[in-house]
Amino acid sequence: MEQDKEVNALTGLALQRRYLDSLNIPHYGPPEGPCIVVDEEHLEVSVFFAEHQLPVVAANFESVNLKQLMDELQSLCAQFEVEPDGTVSCQIGQVVATGDCYALAGMRACILAGQPS
Strand pairing report for 35-39 and 88-92: unpaired
Residue 53 has a pLDDT of 75
Give me the domain span that covers residue 103: 66-113
Q: Is residue 100, in this structure, part of any structural domain at all?
A: yes
Helix, strand and coil in the chain, % to nearest 5: 35, 20, 45
55 found inside a domain: no
Calpha distance 20→24 (Å, rounded): 6
User: What pLDDT, in 10s, does the model give residues 44-59?
Assistant: 998 888 777 777 777 7
Q: What is the pLDDT of residue 51?
A: 72
* Domains held by the chain: number: 2
Asked whether residue 39 falls in the same domain as residue 71, the answer is no
Output the pLDDT for position 10: 85
Residue 8 and residue 39 share a domain? yes
Helices and strands, number each (H, E), in the chain = 4, 5
Contact 110, 104 (CB under 8 A): no
pTM value?
Answer: 0.57
Rounded average pLDDT per 10-residue block, the chain, 117 residues: 83 86 89 87 87 75 78 94 96 95 92 77
Give residue 23's pLDDT. Answer: 86
